[in-house]
Amino acid sequence: MRISKRQPLPIESGDTMKLRPLTSFTLVPLAALGTFGLFTSAPASASSGAGTKVTATETEFHIALSKKSFTPGTYTFVAKNKGTVTHALEITGPGLKSPRTKGINPGKSADLTVKLKDGKYDVFCPEPGHKAMGMNVNLVISASGGTSSTTTSNMPTNTSTTKAPASGGYGY
């Protein structure tokens, strides 16, 4: 195979610049960079690993935070799914655009880094029905050290042990 020498391209009033032909040797390093994720951007909910670490242990149907008092600042919530179904973690409140993790399979974890300022925040599982069943923690952030409280489920529970009548159940 014979490679011919290319003619210089005119740029402006007599200035010339030599261009090399694009070869597969030039493209391979660019493809490798894309493969290793160097040209991709992280989703908005991804963690940069910064901030105070707070473990959010998720089970059916409860979220337990490793920290009880919060001041304004950057926090990385490490959501650990210790349950048997898929969970996720979402945080809503002042200045946030509802950052959330993707679904977290049982036994797995995901990080969510957010900057919290003075105000009230909700930390909850956005999987359908999970928040209503009790997977919700309310945070109050303040310079003096805010608080966290778990919202209990509004789901009715049956705790009665009524015995069925001996006459067949219709009361006759």
Element (H, E) at 31: helix 24-35
Are the beta carbons of 40 and 85 closer than 8 angstroms? no
Name the more confident of 48 and 141: 141
What is the C-alpha to C-alpha distance for residues 112 and 166, in angstroms, rounded to an integer?
A: 57
pLDDT single digits (tens) 5-25: 555 545 555 555 454 554 444
Give domain limits for the chain: 52-150
pLDDT at residue 41 in the model: 31
Quickly state the pLDDT bin for 39 (edges 50, 70, 90): very low
Structure-derived torsion over alpha carbons of residues 152, 154, 157, 160, reported in degrees to the nearest 10: 100
Give pLDDT tens digits for 83-103: 999 999 999 999 999 899 999
Query: Which tokens sit at 49?
Result: 């690993």
Give the rounded distance of the alpha carbon of 126 from its chain centre: 11
- Round to whole Å and give the CA distance between 34 and 29: 9
Q: Which residue has the higher pLDDT, 16 or 53?
A: 53
Q: Does domain 52-150 have CATH number 3.40.50.300?
A: no
Q: Give SS3 for 140.
A: strand
Q: Are strands 136-141 and 62-65 parallel, antiparallel or unpaired?
A: unpaired
Mean pLDDT of the 116-128 span:
96
**Residue 37 three-state SS:** coil
pLDDT digits (tens, 9 = 90+) for 140-170: 999 887 666 665 444 444 444 444 445 555 5
pLDDT at residue 149 in the model: 62
